[in-house]
A and B are shown apart, each in its own frame.
Chain A
Amino acid sequence: MRSNFVLSEIWIGLRRNLTMTVALIVVVAISLSLLGTGLLFVKQVDATRTYWQGQAEVSVYLCYAESANPDCHGAVTTAQTTALEQRLQAMPQVAGVTYVSQAQAWALYKQTFTNDQSYVSTLKESDMPPSLEVKTHNAGTDDSVVVSEMTGATGVDSVIDEMSILAKFYSLLNGLRNAVVIVALILVVAAILLVANTIRLSAFNRRRETGIMRLVGASNFYIQLPFLLEGVIAGLLGWVLAAVLLVGVKSLLLNNLQQYFNYNIGLSAADVVEVIVLAMVIGVALCGITSFLTLRRYLRV
């Protein structure tokens, strides 16, 4: 085994095939970075979902003097409120119930819209419904039980599950992730075809050399190794580019997205590193396996 001989053969192969090699590196880089972006999105969605599942509540709005709901016959009574609260607390899914009076709701409303006095000036305290804020053990599964239990109960105006509002946000993120992954997969297919073609061209360019190698009894391993490594090296270079792009995606796109939410649910550097390492494994395996299979077809004994 003469490593510098193999290395010089690889160098000759990459240089002779320069345009194909550059195309290959670029396609591998883009497909890997898109795939990695998809994975980062998955992680982001998971992190966001976990955060919200810890925060989300079910708001049970109670009837008040100005309720539009025909089922409400005047404002809810104290006895009804207590009954509802006890009924909720008896449910195994419920972790805690907080009563928010009209006055408290009005105070919260005013605080939220301090900067928009027009919102505050059009409403008054009596427009605010009193509510029961219900916290469940598992927001994902238990909230719907609370919603069906409370809907239509005496004294209840309407029930709003914060998780169902968030679901829209999730479906947006999921759609974005699916689009990225689909484009990435198409590019992966393109990359595979390009690897196969590059190796085939390289084998064709050096058919004199490989023909002589076969005749003088070089082992298959020795004949194929330079081509195999050529593919793997192109894959590695593509991966390095992809790693740079992924760090860019994280620091420019996802971190900017983060600024719209006042919660600390960003991805850590470890998440990005994990995705980058995964991209390397995929890239090297993709190029190596494709080269190997191509060589089996074009460099027979």
Chain B
Amino acid sequence: MIEFQNVTKIYPNQNRAALENVDMTINKGEFVFLVGPSGSGKSSFLRLILREERPNEGRILVAGNDLARLTNWKVPALRRKIGCVFQDFRLLPNKTVFENVAFALDVIGKPRRFTRRVVPEVLDLVGLEGKHERMPDELSGGEQQRVAMARAFVNRPMILLADEPTGNIDPATSIGIMKVLDRINRTGTTVVMATHDAAIVDSMRKRVIELEYGKVVRDQNRGVYGQAY
């Protein structure tokens, strides 16, 4: 589903590579934790998958597309296959929960009939029944992140990227968030989650890829966060 072949990424005006010779494959339906200290290249990894950045060397294949060969006007089609969740939720403050999720379908031109049917389904999936008309600032952090996950998943992407989704949320609420991610993973969606949260990684026992200074230092099935942190 996601394949990195000797990928190196160096940002302009920087000496050190953000990612160096990263070579790995993530298969369809996998749940992968991306761990490592700040600045180890986790975010660069996710941005490369989204083609927000392009690598200096190497090849990246995402959902059957060679990103180097993908023309600019085909990038939106790639991104429709990828859902995204962030630490800071990125909801629209002047839209209701329902409108926030529907926005993702509106802007890719889906008919309103389709939106009206699909949005309640996905809001149920993330556990936001009965909160359709709330505004984001009336919700707790955990609930806001559920809205963000609903928005990321509403178009049924093949891949869900989560960049520290529990970073702003207390540990008890985080368990709920992880349950939603697990539920999404069980529908066959590949999930890649960058995180600092050792407790979550240890409890889930999924594949762990550890980055340090832009290099993969560990790639382990059913792994834990590691002792160093």
Interface residues of A (CB under 8 A from B): 1-2, 5, 208-209, 211-220, 222-223, 301
B104 near A216 (CB under 8 angstroms)? Answer: yes
B112 near A2 (CB under 8 angstroms)? Answer: yes
B106 near A214 (CB under 8 angstroms)? Answer: no
B76 near A219 (CB under 8 angstroms)? Answer: yes
With an 8 A cutoff between CB atoms, is B22 at the interface?
A: no
> Which listed residue, A5, A212, A217, A222, touches B90 by the CB 8 Å rule?
A212
A217 near B109 (CB under 8 angstroms)? Answer: no
B76 near A1 (CB under 8 angstroms)? Answer: no
Residues of A within 8 A of B111 (CB): 2
A-B contact sample (12 more), CB < 8 A, given A5-B106, A209-B103, A220-B73: A2-B106, A2-B111, A211-B90, A212-B90, A212-B151, A216-B84, A216-B151, A217-B75, A217-B77, A217-B78, A217-B79, A219-B108
Q: Mark B100-139, 1 if CB is under 8 A from A, else 0.
A: 0001101111011000000000000000000000000000
9 inter-chain pairs at a CB distance below 8 angstroms, sorted by A residue, are A5-B106, A216-B80, A217-B75, A217-B76, A217-B77, A217-B78, A217-B79, A220-B76, A301-B76
With an 8 A cutoff between CB atoms, is B40 at the interface?
A: no
**Are A213 and B107 also in contact (CB < 8 A) when A2-B112, A208-B90, A208-B92 are?**
yes
Question: In the complex, what distance in Å separates the CA atom of A215 from the CA atom of B103?
Answer: 12
Residues of B within 8 A of A1 (CB): 109
> Contact residue range for chain B?
20 to 34
A214's nearest neighbour on chain B, judged by CB, is B79
Chain A nearest CB, measured from B114 CB (Å): 11
A213's nearest neighbour on chain B, judged by CB, is B107
B73's nearest neighbour on chain A, judged by CB, is A220
Chain A nearest CB, measured from B189 CB (Å): 15
Question: In the complex, what distance in Å separates the CA atom of A197 from the CA atom of B112?
Answer: 34
Residues of B within 8 A of A209 (CB): 92, 103
Residues of A within 8 A of B8 (CB): none
Interface residues of B (CB under 8 A from A): 50, 72-73, 75-84, 90, 92, 103-104, 106-109, 111-112, 151-152, 155
A218 near B76 (CB under 8 angstroms)? Answer: yes
Residues of A within 8 A of B75 (CB): 217, 301
Residues of A within 8 A of B104 (CB): 212, 216
Residues of A within 8 A of B155 (CB): 216-217
Residues of A within 8 A of B77 (CB): 217
Question: In the complex, what distance in Å separates the CA atom of A161 from the CA atom of B73?
Answer: 68
Question: In the complex, what distance in Å separates the CA atom of A217 from the CA atom of B104?
Answer: 8
Question: In the complex, what distance in Å separates the CA atom of A212 from the CA atom of B81?
Answer: 14
- Among B50, B76, B112, B152, the one with the most A-chain Cβ atoms within 10 Å of its Cβ is B76
> Which listed residue, A208, A211, A218, touches B108 by the CB 8 Å rule?
A218
A217 near B92 (CB under 8 angstroms)? Answer: no
B84 near A215 (CB under 8 angstroms)? Answer: yes
Residues of B within 8 A of A215 (CB): 50, 79, 84
Residues of B within 8 A of A220 (CB): 72-73, 76
A2 near B79 (CB under 8 angstroms)? Answer: no
Residues of A within 8 A of B151 (CB): 212, 216
A2 near B80 (CB under 8 angstroms)? Answer: no
Question: In the complex, what distance in Å separates the CA atom of A212 from the CA atom of B92?
Answer: 9
- Among A213, A216, A222, the one with the most B-chain Cβ atoms within 10 Å of its Cβ is A216
A218's nearest neighbour on chain B, judged by CB, is B107
B103 near A217 (CB under 8 angstroms)? Answer: no
Residues of A within 8 A of B82 (CB): 217
Residues of B within 8 A of A212 (CB): 90, 92, 103-104, 107, 151
B80 near A217 (CB under 8 angstroms)? Answer: yes
Question: In the complex, what distance in Å separates the CA atom of A215 from the CA atom of B88?
Answer: 15
A216 near B108 (CB under 8 angstroms)? Answer: yes
B79 near A216 (CB under 8 angstroms)? Answer: yes
- Among A2, A208, A220, A223, the one with the most B-chain Cβ atoms within 10 Å of its Cβ is A2
- Among B78, B79, B84, B112, the one with the most A-chain Cβ atoms within 10 Å of its Cβ is B79
B73 near A222 (CB under 8 angstroms)? Answer: no
Residues of A within 8 A of B81 (CB): 217
Chain B nearest CB, measured from A79 CB (Å): 90
